[in-house]
Structure 1
Amino acid sequence: MSPRRYELSDFEWSIIEPLLPNKPRGVPRSDDRMVLNGIYWRLRTGSPWAEIPERYGPSTTCYNRFVRWAKIGVWDRIFEAVSRAYDGDLQMIDSSSIRVHQHGANGKKGGLNKRRPPLGTSLEAAAWGAREAD
């Protein structure tokens, strides 16, 4: 069976596995590779956490592990290790080099800035002078 689109290859897993925190006491954790695949699926698709497919385990497990590992710097270590392992073989698309379709380029310059409240302004509707719904 071929690997799924959003899942780690065996090579990537061999790089990442030693970098993950290991807490041997307490309740056994969900499979790290399965949870990582769920996290990567969510990040690559842009879907909400609750829509992670069941094959990756509970969405709350994926979310909690993502947040905890972000706090202790695991993601930084993973990114650096995978970047070193591929040694420039990966290519990324920078959004500044992508042209907008002709129909998406009809807005006025600076139009969005006029609609935003000044910095420090409350985001409550009453602060903007809007009336509440009756």
Structure 2
Amino acid sequence: MPRTMLLKSLWNTLAVLMQQHGCIYHKDTHYLTFEGILYRMRTGCPWPDLPDEFGKWNTLFKRFNAWSKKGVFELLFKLLSENTDTEWLFIDGSIVRVHQHSSGAASTEDEAIGKSRGGRSTKIHLAVDSYGLPVHFELSGGQTHDIVHAESLVTHSPASDFVIADKGYDSGTFRDFVEKQGSKTVIAYRKNSRRPDKSIDEVLYCYRHLVENAFARIKHFRAIATRYDKLARNYASMLALAFVIIWLPMWVE
């Protein structure tokens, strides 16, 4: 049997949440299906190369795609991240390379794949709470500047006392927006900033590594560190699943 990721106690918590919200019905095979999806996320292997112990690969992909269409993984992420520490909110963006197998999707939608000098890429825009636990994320093409999604990240995240970010978010408009939301900004200033007083809370700014740690943690999963999914929806579902795995131990005593 291939190495699995979920203890039975973790799976039981997930299964209860999914059954309560009508995502699945009680069926023993759902455990192996979920483990098969996690195996693919962890290893980044093509769906047809999944071990037979998890079931037929086509069945696993169809189940994942169906759950992705229904927004099951995003719902689980939202449910698990409801009880969060709202004092600090850290935001940042990180680029992932897009594998050639992810190109060519028959879609007229924006699949969050951009072109730059480094080739095709996708950017993950992420917000984490005071403990470095993810609370909201968005996708864009890799060439998109961080500031483009800054206001949306703050809007869709829990209200916080402080918003902490690097100099990529140095914008007077964004600072004003955050202050109107009732939060204070701890954002580094660019060297060419004309603001006479560039002082910030250096101690609090040092904790910005929490959002970097979150990126490092999810990029341990190979299907996250490199994008293989053709559709932005499916890659977002994989991301949501990775965040579920981060949150899940907090729900199990």
Give the structure-1-normalised TM-score: 0.52
Partner in structure 2 of residue 22 of structure 1: 24
CA distances 1:36-60 after superposition (whole Å, capped 9, x unpaired): 0001000110000011111100101
Counterparts of 1:109-128 in structure 2 under 5 Å? 111-112=117-118
* Distance in 2 of aligned mates of 1:40 and 1:4: 11
Q: How does 1:1-134 map to 2 (within 5 A)?
A: 5-18=3-16, 19-20=18-19, 21-22=23-24, 31-83=29-81, 111-112=117-118
Q: Is the 8 A contact 1:38 1:62 kept in 2?
A: yes
State the shift of 1:12 in Å. 1.6
Aligned residues: 88
| Residues in 2 aligned to 1:68 and 1:44: alpha-carbon distance in whole angstroms | 20
Q: CA RMSD in A?
A: 3.3
Between the aligned partners of 1:75 and 1:58, the Cα distance in structure 2 is: 21
How much has 1:32 moved relative to structure 2? 0.3
Give per-residue Cα distances to partners, 1:35-92, cap 9 Å, x unaligned. 000010001100000111111001011100110001111111222344568x79xxxx
Which letter does structure 2 place at the counterpart of 1:69?
A: W
Question: Which amino acid letter does the alignment assign opposite residue 24 of structure 2?
Answer: N
Return the offset for 1:9: 1.2
Rg larger in structure: 1
2-side partners of 1:23 and 1:14: how far apart?
13
Letter paired with 1:74: V
Higher strand share: 2
C-alpha separation in 2, matches of 1:23 and 1:31:
11
- Given that residues 40 and 46 in structure 2 are in contact (C-alpha distance below 8 angstroms), is that contact kept between their aligned partners in structure 1? yes
- 1:14 Cα deviation (Å)? 1.5
Tell whether the 8 Å contact from 2:32 to 2:54 is kept in structure 1 after alignment: yes
**Cα distance in structure 2, aligned partners of 1:79 and 1:68:** 17
**Structure with greater helix percent:** 1
Alpha-carbon distance between aligned partners in 2 of 1:30 and 1:64, rounded to the nearest angstrom: 17
Mapped to 2, the partners of 1:9 and 1:82 lie a distance apart of 17
Unaligned runs of 5+ in 1: 89-93, 97-109, 114-134
How far did residue 112 of structure 1 move?
4.0
Q: Which has the higher contact order (CA 8 A, sep 6+)?
A: 2
* Matched position secondary structure for 2:4: coil
Other structure's SS at 1:63 match: helix
